[in-house]
């Protein structure tokens, strides 16, 4: 290191000035200008802005999808509430007897038999079978069945048997037997 120090002492000062000048000029050209720094910053910010705009667009799409999903869920809920009207949680054979006897009287038939059977559990509902026997004219029996089908409950008729007509006072009277099945909703756990 002493050789370098000796050499620096012996060299003219002008050499150091020229070397310093060239080093400063080189540094000046190698160092990016403020305009270049600002251009790079602007490009980086534009990239960030584009990314953020995409995220905002995706968020808006998700929000609209969420709103659509909520609307669909509301429609399903309304449909389910309507279904519960036809498939009530509480349905006792006495309620059915009351409704069926009113429909029988209105249709002009006699309800001779109304015998509830044990309920039959299914997936999300219970079936409540009831043996019935109805006596009346063929037209009145059809009117009765139509009236039962229009009750705001799901009620089906199974194993319908219509006997041979018996003429009473010039009218053909028949007896119909079958099973009315009411349905009761049960919550699935």
- Within a domain: 134: yes
Number of other CB atoms surrounding residue 93 within 10 Å: 17
pLDDT at 9: 67
Q: Is the residue at 159 inside a domain?
A: yes
Mean pLDDT of 17-41: 72
In a domain, 131, yes or no: yes
Confidence at residue 134, expressed as pLDDT on a 0 to 100 scale: 92
Is residue 82 one of the residues assigned to a domain?
no
Is the whole model's pTM more than 0.75, yes or no? no
For tokens 């756990």, what's the residue?
A: 189
Closest CA to 164 of 154, 175, 153: 175
Half-sphere exposure of 176 (CA within 13 A, CB side): 25
pLDDT value for 74: 83
Domain harbouring 97, CATH code = 3.30.70.60
pLDDT band at 3 (very low <50, low <70, confident <90, very high): confident
CA nearest neighbour of 184 among 129, 145, 115, 147: 129
Range name among 50-59, 76-85, 129-138 with the lowest pLDDT average? 76-85
State the residue range of the domain holding 137: 93-185
Count of helices and strands (H, E) across the chain = 5, 6
Distance CA 15, CA 74 (A): 88
The reply to whether 74 falls in a domain is no
- The total number of structural domains in the chain stands at 1
Task: Using the predicted structure, report yes or no on whether residue 82 has a pLDDT greater than 70.
Answer: no
């Amino acid at each position: 290191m002493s050789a370098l120090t000796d050499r620096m002492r012996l060299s003219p000062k002008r050499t150091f000035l020229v070397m310093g000048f060239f080093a400063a000029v080189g540094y000046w050209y190698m160092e990016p200008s403020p305009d270049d720094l600002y251009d790079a910053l602007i490009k980086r910010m534009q990239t960030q802005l584009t990314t953020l705009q995409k995220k905002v667009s995706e968020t808006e799409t998700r929000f609209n999808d969420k709103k659509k999903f909520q609307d669909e869920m509301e429609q399903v809920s309304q449909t389910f509430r309507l279904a519960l009207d036809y498939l009530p949680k509480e349905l006792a054979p006495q309620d059915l007897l009351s409704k069926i006897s009113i429909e029988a009287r209105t249709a002009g038939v006699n309800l001779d038999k109304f015998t509830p059977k044990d309920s039959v559990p299914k997936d999300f509902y219970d079936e409540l079978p009831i043996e019935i026997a109805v006596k009346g004219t063929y037209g009145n029996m059809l009117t009765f069945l139509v009236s039962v089908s229009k009750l705001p409950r799901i009620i089906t008729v199974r194993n319908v048997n219509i006997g041979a007509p018996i003429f009473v006072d010039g009218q053909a009277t028949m007896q119909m037997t079958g099973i009315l099945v009411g349905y009761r909703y049960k919550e699935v756990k």
